[in-house]
Amino acid sequence: MNCLRLDQIYQFLENDLPDPEISLIQKHVAQCPRCHQAVANRQKLIQASESLPFLDVPSGFSRQVMSRIFPQTLPISRSLITAAAGASVIFVTTLLIFIASGQNLVNVLMAMNQSALNSLQDLSVIFAKFMKLALLFVKMIIQFAGYFVAGLTHMTTIIGPEFQIAFAFITLLISGTLFYGLKRKFFLGEKQ
Amino acid sequence: MNEDKELIRRTLSGERDAFEMIIQKYQRPLVNFIARTVGDYEQALEFTQEVFIKSYSSLRSYKTHFKFKTWLFKIASNHIIDYWRKKKIDAFSIDYPKQQDDDSLFIQIPSNEYPVGKKFELEEIQQKIEAALQKIPAYLRELFVWRHINNFSYKEMAEIKGLPVGTVKNRVYQAKELIRKQLEDLQ
C-alpha cells in the first residue's frame, strides 16, 4: 500500500472507511514511520479539539432572553381599568354639560379658585345636571326597549314560528362568529 | 427531536414556558458555537439572545420536517455572516485564498512534518488551538466548531450550510490541517 493521503488519514481516524480499508491502513501505519507520525499528529489534534472546555452561560440567561421577547408590562387589574374608564366618562360628560349650559369654562375654573364653598356649589349643580342627564338616558333606554318588544311581538304575529327559529339561529351564528373573530384578533393566542 | 417539536407546538399555542425550555436546551451549544466563531464571549452572549429572538419571531415559518437544531444553527450562522457583512469583514479572506479547491486535501502528507504538541501539555495545546481557530477562514472555522465542539454529524452540517456532505467533510479536514500547521509554526 502507498503512503496515506490526508483525507484517508482523517477518514481513518473518524472510522469513516470500510473495514477492509481500515485493516490495510492499520497494517501500513504499523510499518511506515512517516504515516505513523502523521496519524499520531492528527489524532492528538482531534483529541485536544474535542476536549476543549464547553463554555458556560450566566445564570438567568434564559430569563433575560424571555424578557427581551416579552417585555414586561405592569399588571393592571380589570377593576382598575373599569374605574379609570368610569372616571373618564364622568369627566367628559361633566365637560359636555359645562359647554351645553353655556357657562364659560375659564370663568368656572376661576370661580372654583375663589372659594371652596363656591366650588362645592358648582360641583353640586354639575352633579344634579349629570343625574338629570343620566335619568333621561335611562328613560330613553326603557322607551327604546318598549318599542323593541312591541315590534318583536308584532313581528311574531306576521312571521311563522319556523322562520322565527331560523332568524334566531342566524343571529346567534353571526354574533358567535363576530365574538370568536374579535377574540382571536385581540388575544393572539398567548396565555400567561 | 420529537421533544423539540412538542415544545414548538406548545410555544405556538401560546405557552411561553415551552419556549424558555427551548432556550435552556440550546443556549450553551449556541454560545459555544458563536463564541468560538466570532472569538468574543460577551458578543456571543448578545448574539445568542438575538438568535433566540429571531427564531421566536419566525417560529411559524419553521417546517417540522427539518430538525429544529439545524434550523436554529442556520439562523445563528446567518446572523454571524450578516454581522460580518455590516462590519465589512470578509468571512472568506482571513489568511486564506478565496478559490481554495475543495479537493486540495487529496494530497500526500507534508514531508517535513513535526509532531503536534511535542513541547506542550494538553491544556497548552488547547489554548494554541483556540488561538489558531481565530486565524483560519471563518467559513472553515464554523464547520470545525460544529464538528469538534458541538459534535454535529457531517449530515447535520451539510443540512445547515446547504452543501454536499463530501464538501463539508473536506472543509473540516482543511480546517484541521490549517490548525495543525498553525501549531507546527508555534513550535
**Phi then psi for B15, rounded to 5 degrees?**
-90, 105
**Distance (Å) from the C-alpha of residue A110 to the closest C-alpha of chain B?**
54
- Contact residues, chain B, for A4 at CB < 8 Å: 109
Residue B187, C-alpha cell as written in the block: 513550535
pLDDT at B45 over 60: yes
Nearest residue on chain A to B133, judged by CA atoms? A49
Q: Which of B63, B59, B60, B65 is nearest to B22 (CA)?
A: B59
Contact B176/A68, CB-based, under 8 Å?
no
- Cβ(A130)–Cβ(A90) under 8 Å? yes
- Contact residues, chain B, for A35 at CB < 8 Å: 109
Task: Count CA atoms within 13 Å of residue A43 on its CB side.
Answer: 11
Q: What is the pLDDT of residue A190?
A: 46
Residue B14, C-alpha cell as written in the block: 401560546
pLDDT at A144 over 60: yes
DSSP class of residue B59? G
**Phi then psi for A5, rounded to 5 degrees?**
-90, 160
Residue type, B1: M
Q: Which of A1, A4, A10, A183 to mutate to test the interface with B (most CBs of B within 10 A)?
A: A10
Query: A2: alpha, beta or left, given left = phi > 0 and alpha = psi -120 to 50?
Result: beta
Q: What is the pLDDT of residue A161?
A: 75
Interface predicted TM-score (ipTM) of this complex, two decimals: 0.80
Q: What is the pLDDT of residue B92?
A: 53
Q: What is the pLDDT of residue A98?
A: 66
Q: What is the pLDDT of residue B87?
A: 80
Q: What is the pLDDT of residue B125?
A: 87
Residue B1 CA to residue B18 CA, distance in Å, equals 14
pLDDT at B79 over 60: yes
Q: Averaged over B25-30, what is the pLDDT?
A: 97
Q: A82 versus B52: which is more confidently predicted?
A: B52
Q: How far is CA B36 from CA A39, B52, B143, B182, in A?
A: 26, 18, 11, 17
CB pairs under 8 A between A and B: 129
Range with the lowest mean pLDDT among A7-11, A43-47, B112-116? B112-116
Nearest by CB to A7, from B45, B170, B180: name it.
B170
- Contact residues, chain B, for A44 at CB < 8 Å: 116-117, 125
Residue A173, C-alpha cell as written in the block: 351564528
Contacts of A53-60 spanning 24+ positions with Cβ under 8 A: A53/B126, A54/B28, A54/B32, A54/B149, A55/B28, A55/B31, A55/B32, A55/B35, A55/B41, A55/B44, A56/B28, A57/B27, A57/B28, A57/B31, A57/B45, A57/B48, A58/B45
- Cβ(A9)–Cβ(A17) under 8 Å? no
- Within 10 A of A73 (CB to CB), how many other CB atoms are there? 6
Contact A5/B31, CB-based, under 8 Å?
no
Contact A68/B179, CB-based, under 8 Å?
no
pLDDT at A114 over 70: no
pLDDT at A132 over 80: yes
Nearest residue on chain B to A187, judged by CA atoms? B14
Q: What is the pLDDT of residue B72?
A: 96
Reported confidence tier of residue B43, pLDDT bands at 50, 70, 90: very high
- Contact residues, chain B, for A52 at CB < 8 Å: 126, 129-130, 148-149
pLDDT at B81 over 80: yes
Quickly tell me which residue has 490548525 as its cell.
B179
Q: Is A29 on the interface with B (CB under 8 A)?
A: no
Mean pLDDT of chain B: 86
Residue A176, C-alpha cell as written in the block: 358567535
Q: Is A58 on the interface with B (CB under 8 A)?
A: yes
pLDDT at B187 over 90: no
Q: A150 versus B51: which is more confidently predicted?
A: B51
Return the bridge partners of A5, or none: B108
- Within 10 A of B148 (CB to CB), how many other CB atoms are there? 24
Residues A52-85 have pLDDT tens digits of: 999 999 999 999 999 999 876 556 667 777 888 8
Residue B138 CA to residue B92 CA, distance in Å, equals 6
Contact A49/B129, CB-based, under 8 Å?
yes
Q: What is the pLDDT of residue B96?
A: 42
Q: What is the pLDDT of residue B162?
A: 93
- Cβ(B72)–Cβ(B62) under 8 Å? no
Q: What is the pLDDT of residue A163?
A: 79
pLDDT at A159 over 80: no
Mean pLDDT of chain A: 82
pLDDT at B172 over 90: yes
Residues B83-141 have pLDDT tens digits of: 988 887 665 543 344 445 455 555 666 666 666 655 567 788 889 999 999 999 999 99
Contacts of A98-101 spanning 24+ positions with Cβ under 8 A: A98/A126, A101/A129
- Contact residues, chain A, for B106 at CB < 8 Å: 5-7
